[in-house]
Amino acid sequence: MYRKCIKRIIDLFLSIIGIVVLSPLLLAMAIAIKIDSSGPVLFKQKRIGINKTHFNIYKFRTMRIDTPRDTPTHLLTDPDQYITKMGLFLRKLSLDELPQIINILFGQMAIIGPRPALWNQYDLIAERDKYGANDIRPGLTGWAQINGRDELPIEVKAKYDGEYVRRMSFLFDLKCFVGTITVVLSRNGVVEGKRETCKMENKQEKFNDN
């Protein structure tokens, strides 16, 4: 009952409340982005949704318009040259993700669920298939995000997503939501750039050795 109906009702209700309550903040951030650098306020990107359908995810633009598309930030050679000053601030607190309230409102995403993969992250998509994690709505945040975020190897991230599918409930969603606040404030698990990617790869080697 929760998975098929209640979860969506909660997402719909909270997304409407979020848009109304956060509208002054969203407007202020939009103006700041526009003043800080040239380009659109919103950034959209093709992602994988429920049942591996495609949809456009919305974010506040945090990078210059000449940034390579469809490449995760932590895989860029030097992301610092692309991230704008306002973008750096937004990313530190994950405020760039707030426009995804629109995706939640339209039913393309949920508040809690596996983070939507890029359309070309074939390895992650294939791993999630093993656990049924592509068969539910992706989320603004999820179980994998509070257990490592960018630091997680793909296989481990997919396993966390599968665990979320198995344990999905109101109380577990609440646990993920509260955990997200802690992770965002601490900035744990965020990886951006080749230097941080090397650290992540070293951690993955240690994980594999164990």
pLDDT, one tens digit per residue, over 90-136 is: 988 889 999 999 999 999 999 999 999 999 999 999 999 999 999 99
Give residues with Cβ within 8 angstroms of 162, minimum separation 6: 128, 130, 131, 132, 133
What pLDDT sits at residue 76? 67
How confident is residue 197, by pLDDT bands cut at 50, 70 and 90? very low
- Other beta carbons within 10 angstroms of residue 59's beta carbon come to 19
What pLDDT sits at residue 72? 67
CB 62 within 8 A of CB 80: no
User: Distance between CA 206 and CA 72 in Å, rounded?
Assistant: 23
| Model pTM score | 0.82
User: Distance between CA 106 and CA 110 in Å, rounded?
Assistant: 10
Tokens coding 44 = 């959209």
Q: Is the pLDDT of residue 201 over 50?
A: no
Q: 3-class SS at 83?
A: strand
Instruction: Write the DSSP symbol of residue 2.
Output: I
Q: Is the pLDDT of residue 207 over 70?
A: no
Residue carrying structure tokens 């997680």: 152
Residue carrying structure tokens 């930030």: 73
Query: CA nearest 38: which of 65, 58, 67?
Result: 65
Q: Kindly report the backbone phi and psi dihedral angles of residue 10, in degrees, each rounded to the nearest multiple of 5, phi listed first.
A: -65, -45
